[in-house]
Structure 1
Amino acid sequence: MVLYPGTPTVERWKSQQLISFRNWSVEVELDYKHGEQGTLFAHGDQGGGYALYVLDGDLLFSHNGYGEMTNIGCGEIPEGRNKIVFTVTPPDFLHWDVDISLNGTAMASRKGLLALLAMAPFQGIDVGIDRKSPVNWEIYEKYRNFPYTGMLEAVRYLPGDLTDFAGSKWIDFLKEEGKRFE
């Protein structure tokens, strides 16, 4: 799914299907100039979510694990055209492993972040802004919805394969097992 600045918030259920119980990634293309900052993408709210920002020339990833904030500095962004790739690999039902690269170079990673499940994220995906209830309250207090001030070209959500523990993979099995007891 390709999203552009100014796109309305992607509906919550549709947003959830892009990330639930699967490997997934987000690609961000931007033409960065010194001094530009703001939200690149945000998915969620104060109850749980994740967001990627440009703040004071650096890339910042925020993960709100049901109110427990984790902020990961990803380093400086060079001027010019850049491609950021944010990748999530769930090693198990309850966790995410996150990798962030810039122009093909690994910038940050974190293992064991709380996976966002069921009712979190409760809000959909925003591009270039964090509308409504914010993912990162500290950023909201300082910058409000923190619109990106530069040239954000596109944000691509790339849902990957479902994990082995995805509930939808068990539907046929459960139907067959249920028939045995009819």
Structure 2
Amino acid sequence: MLPLDDRTPVELLAIQRPQFEPPRTRYLYYPDTAPVPEGVAVNIRGRSYKIIADVDMTKAAQGVLFAHGSRFGGHALFIKDNKLHYVYNFLGIKPEQVFVSGPLPEGKHALGMEFIWEKKGDHGESLGTTILYVDGKEAAKGPMRAQIGKFTLAGDGLCVGFDSGDNVSDLYQNPGRFTGGTIKGVAVDVSEEKYVDLDKEAQAAFATD
């Protein structure tokens, strides 16, 4: 019997499924809300993306700013030991891909990261460069690979201020709720624009609040 669909598993995982709303280039998310299902969350698979968190923090601040996925695959932006961390967990394979800033001063900050897509790997995964930013200035940089399948194949919805279900990273424990400050919101941008002047981007994203 001939196969009804001869596409490979990698090709099937990369298919863009129908969404409940038209795709956009910028998505805004807020704390104290329920996890956002992946069917209506921003799609970062196979593309460049930026995450920008507008935060007012003390030196005691710690916890999750943004998280999507689980220990079987996902990514998270969080504060630990007074430093900004971004972790990309590639299908639960160790070691985790970790990017860490220097110490953060208390006060208002635009904290974020950018993944610059460069090419496909041997198995269809995304290969590129990740840059961590604090107030628009580069804080860490290095190569990264990203999965093409959805995080919710074995994970959780998109969260701001905490991580539901399994924690994305071993560097914090669930729910990893953010304390010691306030999160005004988190923007995820999938446009092709350069990551320029992060402070102004964050302010513009949440100017209507």
Same-fold status (TM-score > 0.5): yes
3-state SS of paired residue (1:117):
coil
- Pick the aligned partner of 1:135 from 168, 185, 203: 168
Q: Say whether 1:4 aligns with 2:34.
A: no
Instruction: Tell whether the 8 Å contact from 1:26 to 1:87 is kept in structure 2 after alignment.
Output: yes
Question: 1:145 maps to what in 2?
Answer: 175
Distance 1:73 1:56 in 2: 10
**Identity over aligned residues, as a percent?**
24
Length-normalised TM-score, structure 2? 0.69
Task: After superposition, give the CA deviation of every residue in 1:80-120 in whole Å (9 maximum; x if it has no partner).
Answer: 11001311111112223211111121001121x22121133
Amino acid across the alignment from 1:131: S
3-state SS of paired residue (1:49):
strand
Q: Say whether 1:160 aligns with 2:186.
A: no
3-state SS of paired residue (1:13):
coil
Structure 2, unaligned stretches of length 5 or more?
1-26, 193-209
Matching of residues 32-71 of structure 1 within 5 Å:
32-67=57-92, 68=94, 69-71=96-98
Question: 1:109 maps to what in 2?
Answer: 141
Instruction: Tell whether the 8 Å contact from 2:54 to 2:185 is kept in structure 1 after alignment.
Output: yes
Question: 2:114 maps to what in 1?
Answer: 87
The number of aligned residues is 156
Distance 2:100 2:164 in 1: 22
- The offset of 1:14, in angstroms, is 2.7
Instruction: Tell whether the 8 Å contact from 2:86 to 2:113 is kept in structure 1 after alignment.
Output: no
Amino acid across the alignment from 1:7: T
Say which structure is richer in strand: 1
- The offset of 1:138, in angstroms, is 4.3
3-state SS of paired residue (1:89):
strand
Relative contact order (C-alpha < 8 Å, sep 6+): which is higher? Answer: 1
Q: Say whether 1:100 aligns with 2:132.
A: yes
Structure 1, unaligned stretches of length 5 or more?
162-182
- The offset of 1:77, in angstroms, is 1.3
- Pick the aligned partner of 1:28 from 18, 30, 53: 53
Moved more, 6-15 or 78-87: 6-15
Question: 1:13 maps to what in 2?
Answer: 39
